[in-house]
Amino acid sequence: MEIVRIILGIVYFLATGILILNGIHRYLTLYRFMKVKDQGIPPAPPTLRQPIVTVQLPIYNERYVAERVIRAVSQLDYPRQLLQIQVLDDSTDDTKDRIFELCQELKAKGINIQYLHRDNRVGFKAGALQAGFMQATGEFVAIFDADFVPPADFLQKTLPYFANPKVGMVQTCWGHINREHSLLTKMLAILLDSHFQVEHVARNRNGYFFNFNGTAGIWRKECIIDAGGWEHDTLTEDLDLSFRAQLKGWQFVYLPNVVCPAELPPEINAIKSQQFRWAKGSMQTARKLLPRIWRSNITLGQKMEATFHLTSYLPTIWALYCSIFVLPAMYLWGYKQTLPIIFVNLLLFALTSVTFYIFFEVTQRGVERSLFKRILNSFLLMAIWMGLSISNSRAIVEGIFNIQSEFKRTPKFRIEKKSDSWEGKKYVEAKDLTVLAELVMVGYLIFTFSFVWKKHDYFLVPFVTAFIFGFGYVALLSLRTRLKKAMATIRAAAFS
């Protein structure tokens, strides 16, 4: 029994140590953000010429949103003779027929639009981008995913920054078409806002690496070539290319004032798929590039920030462990013998939970006036983040050990109004097996809660309650999707 106590204690303190370290880093990110947030947007140099621009639209089975993004790009405020549009279509369903006809319609109107269809998905999105890149005529390449609706003045606002020959990429801010659709989309919007409104600003304005987000950005073609082009050995080809380019000395510019509206995933399995890809891809990129980063001649501060950036999902797996460890800790040591653990938990609370609330409270100030609602939303977001931890932990492990898997794109359903629904639509996935583990965790944590309450360890009650809510909410949404999918299948069979 003693050896079990020692092993569990070592792993627990290792987990909490990593979480505390990441909490300190989040405080540091907030400090960096507050230091530069009032500096304003860097002024754009005067534009002396209008270069040829290629716009790439990677698409895979997007019957609901493909037409929207193609029409939006065709209306960009830029001379037609200087604009090349590439529709990079890997679709295997009726999407390819729909957008082929649309491309023919736009081409007849004098728009330089090319429909490029691949019969295979070699390299997935990175493969499609690289295949299109080989035929790109533009000096600059803008990229938009199928769920985005770029504003007409996108090129007018981004191209001037390339007057500086050292600038290799300009990233714009993501907006949210369907932020108010549900509690889930609202929480996801806050999570993404923290990345675009706080982290990107803190990194870019303080001279640290930040990344192209796969869409709503524009590259200098020479920069892509110099960095080695699009590679598909990770699930986050955008993150990979970004760091390779910056290690080559290219500068990136972030424009938080230029907003590209996009559709948030409204369904839990779509969010799981998206988060899984980002978590696994970031760990794959860390595995691939961290040795190169630490061997490079960039500053120590840049190396450390890059390490936190590429391993940002790693605390998820340790938070999951800590939630599981509460019950064994109390059983093995008892209340009096866990005073050191209680002290660590207090430190953990101050450096993780509190900074979590502050971080997302700052993020919401532009859209939510009520302080109470901002704090409540932060609590809900933390709980949902924990609810996704089983799926994300699996992704982290696969990323660390480089276990290969298919690139699963996030399905979109053209949810633009609160009344719009994804139910009964194609692409809804309901095969996610992590829901079983989530339900087991709910039962386990309810038992943990009763044990904690019985032992009068009320300090742990808020943590365990948040875990129960997070796992329970995510599990219920997953079960709801399964039920809706089954009902849609039954209705389709009945009317066939």
Determine the average pLDDT of the residues in 343-354.
66
Q: Which of 22-36, 140-154, 433-447 has the highest mean pLDDT?
A: 140-154
* pLDDT at site 139: 98
- The pLDDT-based confidence of 153 (bands split at 50, 70, 90) is very high
Determine the average pLDDT of the residues in 76-102.
96
> Lowest-confidence range among 119-133, 185-199, 294-308, 446-460?
446-460
186: how many CB neighbours lie within 10 A of its CB? 21
On the question of pLDDT at 332 being above 70, the answer is no
Determine the average pLDDT of the residues in 242-268.
96
For residue 337 the two structure tokens come to 């013998």
**Which of 214, 216, 56, 219 lies closest to 149, judged by CA?**
216
Domains of the chain: 2-33+313-410+430-495 (no CATH), 52-267 (3.90.550.10)
Q: Which residues contact 452 (CB under 8 A, 6 or more apart)?
A: 326, 330, 458, 460, 461, 464
* pLDDT at site 42: 74
Per the DSSP assignment, residues forming a β-bridge with 88 are: 58, 116
Which residues are the active-site residues? 90, 238
Give the whole-angstrom CA distance, residue 216 versus residue 201. 16
Determine the average pLDDT of the residues in 451-474.
85
Q: pLDDT (tens digit, 9 = 90+) per residue, 108-128?
A: 999 999 999 998 889 999 999
Give the whole-angstrom CA distance, residue 245 versus residue 243. 5
* pLDDT at site 342: 60
Q: What's the mean per-residue pLDDT of the chain? A: 90
What's the farthest any 2 CA atoms get from each other in the chain?
A: 79
Burial of 229 (0-12, 13-18, 19+ CB in 10 A): middle
On the question of pLDDT at 335 being above 60, the answer is no
State the pTM of this model: 0.93
Determine the average pLDDT of the residues in 173-185.
95
Determine the average pLDDT of the residues in 140-147.
98
Burial of 95 (0-12, 13-18, 19+ CB in 10 A): buried
Alpha helices in 216-314 (DSSP H): 221-227, 237-247, 268-295, 300-310
Give the whole-angstrom CA distance, residue 83 versus residue 136. 11
Give the whole-angstrom CA distance, residue 406 versus residue 425. 22
- The distance of Cα 15 from the centroid of its chain, to the nearest Å, equals 23
Alpha helices in 134-220 (DSSP H): 154-158, 183-193, 200-205
* pLDDT at site 65: 96
What percentage of the chain has pLDDT greater than the value 90?
A: 65
Determine the average pLDDT of the residues in 269-292.
96
Q: pLDDT (tens digit, 9 = 90+) per residue, 218-237?
A: 999 999 999 999 999 999 99
> Lowest-confidence range among 293-302, 330-339, 366-375?
330-339
Determine the average pLDDT of the residues in 400-429.
86
* pLDDT at site 264: 96
On the question of pLDDT at 94 being above 60, the answer is yes
On the question of pLDDT at 339 being above 60, the answer is no
Burial of 400 (0-12, 13-18, 19+ CB in 10 A): middle
On the question of pLDDT at 212 being above 60, the answer is yes
For residue 212 the two structure tokens come to 């192209």
For residue 317 the two structure tokens come to 């797996």
Q: What is residue 53's three-state secondary structure?
A: strand
On the question of pLDDT at 436 being above 60, the answer is yes
**Which of 308, 304, 302 lies closest to 209, judged by CA?**
302
* pLDDT at site 190: 95
* pLDDT at site 489: 63
Q: Which of 274-283, 310-319, 363-372 has the highest mean pLDDT?
A: 274-283
